[in-house]
Structure 1
Amino acid sequence: MKKEDENLELLFKKFDNQWDIEELNTGHKERFMVKLSSIKYLRNYFLLLAIAACIMLFFGLSLFYNEKNKITEFQFASKETKQTDSIFTIIINKELEKLNEKKSPENKKIIADALKQMKILDQDYEKIIKELERNGESKQIIYAMLSNLQTRISFLQSVLKHVEKNDQLIYIQNEKTL
């Protein structure tokens, strides 16, 4: 170990006159600090730019997926079929609104079960629409579509009647207890 130290000292002595010992110009530290602060500014700028790009990407993707989900109108149907679908859809939506207005703690379970059944009927309807788009209009597909729409409307109407009867029974029971 001692020998290695001696070798190092000899090496330093050998190159003693060749070391760069030039003094730095005045203001070197200030120029260095200015350059360093500009790098920090650029880092912040690129960070903000990256965040803005991510937000724009997220916004663009959400628009794309929302547009994809909004396309419910089928393309291979005739004008009459589209009209019929829109009329029935309006009626179904009104019946659903009526049903949602009847929500109460007593009817909560009935309405939840009805909405589950409506989801099943909606899924069946989506299958019919896909079949319509795939194979075009035929009497069987149109009949299945109309049957599904009528079933949904009559189902909602029967649930509404059941909820109203339930409300009346609760009202009558409350009057008897007073």
Structure 2
Amino acid sequence: MRNEEEKLEQLFAKFDSDWDVVELPKNHENRFMDKLSNKAIKNRKRNLYTTISIAATVLVMFSLSFFFKPEAKTNKLTFASKETKQTDSIFNVLIKNELNKLKEKESPQNQKIIADALQQMKVLDNDYQKIIKEIARNGENKQIIYAMISNLQTRISFLQNVLNQIETTEQLNIRNDEKTL
């Protein structure tokens, strides 16, 4: 270890003439301390301003959120006209009636047809929900209203077709049963 220290001293001894040694002016330490204290005061002021700015921003955001609460949506078609709401409610009543008829027809023979029909109704209902969101987002226009009515009509006619198919199947089963007797 002592050997290493001697090597370091020899190395630095070679560069003794190359060192930049400048005499510092008088009162250098006092000026340095003044600058340091001024910088600390500026930093404290800056931190105080930053803290006040953040607090003011939070206060403004809180007051805005307090005064401008969004209204709760009471109806699916909040932006729809009275006529559109009436059309929607009339078609939905018809659809519910057709679904009730379909559920009344449920039996082991037509259980698969009804399950498939209900699955298709879910797809149509999802499409309908997208249309309702579009009305809420962009308001009413002819294309969206036409799509809404078309979806409702498709749902009703689909349910009627399924009911007709079930009735046809039941009649065929009755005829086959009569023939076998």
TM-score tier, shorter chain, comes to: 0.5 to 0.7
Deviations, residues 22-60 of structure 1 (Å, cap 9, x unaligned): xxxxxxxxxxxxxxxxxxxxxxxxxxxxxxxxxxxxxxx
Match of 1:169 in 2: 172
Match of 2:105 in 1: 102
Deviations, residues 132-172 of structure 1 (Å, cap 9, x unaligned): 00000000000000000000000000000000000000111
CA RMSD, aligned part only?
1.5
Match of 1:133 in 2: 136
Match of 1:78 in 2: 81
SS at match of 1:113: helix
Match of 1:149 in 2: 152
TM-score, normalization by structure 1: 0.60
Q: d(CA) in 1 for partners of 2:74 and 2:176?
A: 48
Offset at residue 83 of structure 1 (A): 0.3
Which of 1 and 2 has greater Rg? 2
Q: Identity of paired residues, percent?
A: 67
Offset at residue 177 of structure 1 (A): 1.1
Deviations, residues 4-28 of structure 1 (Å, cap 9, x unaligned): xxxxxxxxxxxxxxxxxxxxxxxxx
Match of 1:116 in 2: 119
User: How many positions carry a matched residue from both structures?
Assistant: 110
| 4+ residue runs over 2 A deviation | 70-73
Runs of 5+ in structure 2 lacking a partner? 1-71
Deviations, residues 87-135 of structure 1 (Å, cap 9, x unaligned): 0000000000000000010000000000000000000000000000000
Runs of 5+ in structure 1 lacking a partner? 1-67
Q: d(CA) in 2 for partners of 1:127 and 1:135?
A: 12
Offset at residue 73 of structure 1 (A): 2.4
Q: d(CA) in 2 for partners of 1:71 and 1:107?
A: 38
- Label 1:157 to 1:72 Cα distance change in 2 as closer, same or farther (>3 A): farther
Q: d(CA) in 2 for partners of 1:168 and 1:85?
A: 34
